[in-house]
Structure 1
Amino acid sequence: MPNVENQALDHNQISVNTFNKLAQVYQDKYMDIPLYHASYDALCERISANDKVLDIACGPGNISRYLLERLPDIDLLGSDLAPNMVELARTNNPEGVFEVMDCRAIAQLGQQFDVIVCGFCLPYLDSDDTQLLIRTMAACLTDGGVLYLSTMEGDYAASGMQTSSSGDQAFIHYHDGDMLTEQLHVNGLNVVWTHRQDYPERGDVDLFLIAKKGA
């Protein structure tokens, strides 16, 4: 029997290690990608000055940067499990506060937020963790609060480990939009904006959802 130290890392940790290693590369590619601006604008329209915002799996702070440039008075807290991503987010957004934290542990913050941003976190969570995160985010939102959610849409059965040309790996989970919408509804969140965007480089579809608590 192999000992624990020799057992493979879980899928989530493999992905986190890759993002931590490639944080600068990720920033260079995604810090300002016009393809996603329409979804950010739709979110900005639903944020008020002085709102308390939580940016989950914030990466280098790309969405945070977009929000803070347009709404400088928001109170923004960002989190990511990759320390190098958090360092970049702090540098890119000195107006915000950024901490190393697993998205699955946000309930431990003991806070309520007017807005929660969850940009492309779900591709790295399985179905069970996704359902738990949606339930937790709903509980952490104020009444009338807004949730922004983006993910790669597709057949969950197609999920699997992907390896880049450099050998770096990440386990990608695809999620069905109808199932996510139903999970949001079950947890008191009603979808008020939906957008799908082809991503030619990957050959798949990105899904963007904005939902409101108690709408």
Structure 2
Amino acid sequence: MPDPHRNLFEGFTALLQSTACPYARLATTRFVPVPYSPKSPDFLIMFRKRQPWLADPGTDALIVAIHFSELGKTIDDHARLFRRLLNLVSDHEIAGNILTPGWQLQIHRTRVFATLFSPLYPARNPRSIQKGTYGYVMLQPEHSFHKLLPRNRLEEHQRVHIKHTIREAFDRSGKPYDALDRQPPTEAQKYVKPLHLGDPMIEWWKY
């Protein structure tokens, strides 16, 4: 019997191979082997078995796949399902003013940055998936950022320079960062990006 999830991560693999980020190919990326669906009885079981990876210093990202039919046809549909997923894996309702400086998603006491990628995004958007029929949520533990930008070994101007270099690489590739990423006051607004540069912030936490 053919594996229904055989091509589950082909879109994300293609993204890693083509991204302008110079560090993506060096990352240790792990995967939840079944896609997320609110109707799936297996997803949370599979996720909990792999949840300890987020606290493992050797893990840079844990990837969750979501079929495009589940994500929906609009960015609002995407935002609604994204919040539902984060509520599930963090085991609490995301509420309140999460735009408060210092707020960050936590999954089992591990601070995590979440990023949505989807075929809905146009090709010039860094969040665009160009292959396959799945979107992805990348859960990136805080220690992964510290490996790249260690506070104990780099001065602030060195950290800023590395970030600037990455953004310049995306600019040269024709997939510029959104302005909200260039001067980010908070974490949450970067989780789900608008479809086009200059579009309003996607307030996914309100859905």
Query: Which TM-score tier does this pair reach, normalised by the shorter chain?
Result: 0.3 to 0.5
Compute the TM-score of the two structures, normalised by the length of structure 1.
0.33
How high is the TM-score relative to the length of structure 2? 0.34
Higher strand share: 1
